[in-house]
Amino acid sequence: MTNPFTPGNGVEPKFLAGREEYLQEFSKSLEASENGLPQNMVVYGLRGTGKTVLARHYRLIAEAEGWAVIERELNGRLSDEGAFGDCFGKDIAAKASEISVKARVAETGKALIRTLKPESLTAYGITYKPYYEEPKRILSDYLEEILMGNWPVFQKAGKKGVVLVYDEMHSLRDAKEDKQYTLSSLLESIAHVQRKGARYYLCACGLPNLKTNLKGAKTYTERMFHFQQVGNLQEGEARKALVEPARREGFAFEDALVSQIIGETDGYPYFLQFYGYYLLEDSGKNRISSADFKAMRPGLLERLDKSFFEDRFELASASERKILLAMAKSGSGDVPLSDVKKATEIDDNSFQQMFGRLAEKGLVYRVGRGRYSFTIPLFKDYLKRIN
């Protein structure tokens, strides 16, 4: 028998529970794009909710429907206009050369983008010139030129369109103080080429502050995107996520234990996978009871803390950790900043700066005016354990 649970960063579960509606919505959105109504998708949620897994399924759906797909995991460095422009141009040109009939006659697309000069790529009908060669060029103009210039290549190859799947997109932000408008340039260029009839589709995945970043960059994002909030599984789907994969491999959890695990994990997919995996690994039994879990629970939580929470907590400085610990003590649900500030006795200027850094590190996000929450499920429980 094989352990059917797969706790990991974006690792595909053996049984995908409770996400059928998301997949259907994406398929309908692609179909609408194909029929002439430009569409884009934002997938947002806390850590461990399965956004990366969903993005992988979206890629499979798009490819099966005849779309080209370009994937990239973003990071803070790409908020720099030059860095993003270079990556974007290479990604589009690489995919265009990969699927181009002429390019395939010579060599694979990936080899082309690495070995051929921009003027050589042009001979294959591919538009590409490194952004760094035009440092004074407005980024949105460059992105639009790349998209429109390569659109005929995708059309000629018989592709219905191009889906850009960007994971961790919450890390892409405008920095007006540094005159860096990377996010707004991307949104502007996508909107422009869609209106011109080029069938590009942006699927942006990230933490909840992705919504705030998008709205801050362009006021029309609510009309440009469909928003999918990915959260914890409801009780019935969470039960399926535990029971069904275990059953298929000859394992079983006592009914009372299943309810207990769902209660402790709050139905979050990553934690369901984690609990299931280590209970089967450590027990050595085919059927796990509540008594077994009680004996193993301290070791399981210690392992969870070290493998999931500890590294994230250590991203914060000593002063920032004071804020996180104060948030954990401030009742349940969203936390008013005024309560945290009062508890930490940090001066207003320093407090605002530290909170901004915690948001940049992906540890907290703004829920509403003056109210914040953790981006990591069950993080409050972890902070209470170590404090």
Compute the distance between CA of residue 210 and CA of residue 227 in angstroms, rounded to an integer.
11
Compute the distance between CA of residue 6 and CA of residue 264 in angstroms, rounded to an integer.
18
Listed in sequence order, the residues at least 6 apart from 236 whose beta carbon sits closer than 8 Å to its beta carbon are none
Listed in sequence order, the residues at least 6 apart from 234 whose beta carbon sits closer than 8 Å to its beta carbon are 18, 267
Range among 41-45, 123-127, 362-366 with highest mean pLDDT value: 41-45
Compute the distance between CA of residue 266 and CA of residue 341 in angstroms, rounded to an integer.
28
Spatial CA neighbour of 309 closest among 264, 372, 209, 376: 376
Spatial CA neighbour of 359 closest among 80, 171, 181: 171
SS3 66: coil
Compute the distance between CA of residue 55 and CA of residue 205 in angstroms, rounded to an integer.
7
pLDDT in tens, 148-187: 999 999 999 899 999 999 999 999 999 988 889 999 999 9
| pLDDT value for 91 | 94
**What average pLDDT score do residues 50-59 get?**
92
Contact 377, 48 (CB under 8 A): yes
Helices (H), 225-289: 235-248, 255-265, 269-283
Please, which pLDDT band fits residue 103 given cuts at 50, 70 and 90?
very low
Compute the distance between CA of residue 352 and CA of residue 328 in angstroms, rounded to an integer.
18
Please, which pLDDT band fits residue 65 given cuts at 50, 70 and 90?
very high
Lowest model confidence (mean pLDDT) among 41-50, 113-122, 269-278, 352-361: 113-122
pLDDT in tens, 137-148: 899 999 999 999
Higher pLDDT, 309 or 369: 309
CB neighbour burial string for 354-382, b if at least 16 within 10 angstroms, e if fewer: bbebbbeebbbbbeeeeebbbbbbbbbeb
Q: In terms of C-beta distances under 8 Å and separation of at least 24 residues, what long-range contacts does 313-321 make, across chains too?
A: 313/382, 313/383, 313/386, 315/361, 315/363, 316/358, 316/361, 316/363, 317/354, 317/357, 319/346, 319/350, 319/354, 320/354, 320/357, 320/358
| pLDDT value for 313 | 94
Range among 7-11, 95-99, 104-108, 274-278 with highest mean pLDDT value: 274-278
Q: What is the DSSP letter of 135?
A: T
Q: What is the DSSP letter of 45?
A: -
| pLDDT value for 100 | 78
Higher pLDDT, 335 or 253: 253
Please, which pLDDT band fits residue 124 given cuts at 50, 70 and 90?
low
| pLDDT value for 74 | 95
List Cα–Cα distances, 328 to 51, 255, 350, 365, in angstroms. 25, 31, 20, 14
Please, which pLDDT band fits residue 111 given cuts at 50, 70 and 90?
low
| pLDDT value for 383 | 93
| pLDDT value for 344 | 86
Spatial CA neighbour of 200 closest among 231, 230, 155, 232: 155
Listed in sequence order, the residues at least 6 apart from 74 whose beta carbon sits closer than 8 Å to its beta carbon are 166, 167, 168, 169, 171, 172
pLDDT in tens, 286-296: 999 999 999 99
Please, which pLDDT band fits residue 32 given cuts at 50, 70 and 90?
very high
Compute the distance between CA of residue 99 and CA of residue 125 in angstroms, rounded to an integer.
12
For all residues of the chain together, what is the average pLDDT?
89
pLDDT in tens, 232-245: 999 999 999 999 99
Listed in sequence order, the residues at least 6 apart from 16 whose beta carbon sits closer than 8 Å to its beta carbon are 53, 57
SS3 44: strand
Is pLDDT of 102 > 60? no
Compute the distance between CA of residue 1 and CA of residue 156 in angstroms, rounded to an integer.
49
Is pLDDT of 10 > 50? yes
The helix (H) or strand (E) run that includes residue 371 is strand 371-374
